[in-house]
Amino acid sequence: MPTRDSAQHVFGARAATYTYSATHTDPVVLGRVVALAQAQKSWLALDVGTGTGHTAFAVAPHVAYVLGIDFTPQMLAEGEALRAQKGLMNVFFTVADAHALPVASGLVDLITCRRAAHHFVDLPKALAEMRRALRPGGRLVIDDRSVPEEDWLDTAMNYLDTLHDPSHVREYRASEWVGLLEGAGLHVEAVEPYLQHRPLASSLVERAAPEDARTLYAFLDGLTEAQRQALGLREVNGELHINHWYVMIAAVAQ
C-alpha cells in the first residue's frame, strides 16, 4: 500500500516537471474548474494538493485569497517561483497534509483539488477534512483521474498507473465519487466525465522504473484486440496512444 512518505519521495523528484506540464497547465480544463467554482471576490479559497500551484493561480483572480497546500516541499518551491513570476499577491503556499488541513472549521468558501486525490491514502478522511474546512454552502471542485464503470477497465487502468507511479492509490469511478462526497456531507451538483487520448510514453511509461515499464509493456502486449480497443491503445502518427479518463465534480457543503 502506498504511503504518504512514498508520495512525497515520488513528487519531490518530479517537482520540476509539473511546472510546465501540458496536462497540469491545460487552460481549457483549468477554465472549467474556475467556472464550476462560481467564486466571488470576497472568498477565501483552499487548493488541496496544489503541486506547483496551477489551479491556485487559475482561481486567484476570482477570490480574495488562495492558500495552496501540498505535502511535498519541492513542489511548493516551484510554485513560489511561478507565483513570483506571475506577480500574484493573493496566493500563499504551505506544507500540509490533505488528511489534516491547517485551517479552522467552516472558514473556507471554496476548495479545489485537482489531479491529486488518486494519491490520497485515505480519501474519505481527506474529504471529511474538506467538509470540515468549508462553511455551509461552500463549494468543492474536484478534477481527477478516473476510470469507467466497467470492471475490467477499472482494474486495468489502476494496475497500469500503479506501475507508472508507486504513490498511486486509486482512480475512482464517477459513481464512487458521488457516494464518497455525499457520505462526507456534500451535495453533488455536477459530474462531468471526460476523456483524453494521450501518448503512452508521456502518460504511463516515461517516469516508470525500468522493470515496471517492462511489466507494463508485457501487460499491453498480452491484450486481446477488444481490450486494446477498450483502452484506446493505437498508434497515432507513429506513436502509441492510450485513453485516460477523468472526472470533474462540483459539490456544495450541506
Tens of pLDDT along the chain (254 residues) come to 565 554 454 444 455 666 677 778 899 999 999 999 999 999 999 999 999 999 999 999 999 999 999 999 999 999 999 999 999 999 999 999 999 999 999 999 999 999 999 999 999 999 999 999 999 999 999 999 999 999 999 999 999 999 998 899 999 999 999 999 999 999 999 999 999 999 998 888 988 899 999 999 999 999 999 999 999 999 999 999 999 999 999 999 99
Rg (CA), the chain: 18
Query: Could you tell me which residues come within 8 angstroms of residue 193 by beta carbon, excluding any fewer than 6 positions away?
Result: 146, 174, 245, 246, 247, 248
The cell for 182 is: 455525499
**Is the pTM above the cut of 0.95?**
no
The domain segmentation of the chain, as residue ranges, is: 4-148+167-196+246-253
8 Å CB contact between 57 and 87: no
**Residue 239 burial by CB count (10 A; 0-12/13-18/19+): exposed, middle or buried?**
exposed
Write out the CATH class of domain 4-148+167-196+246-253. alpha beta
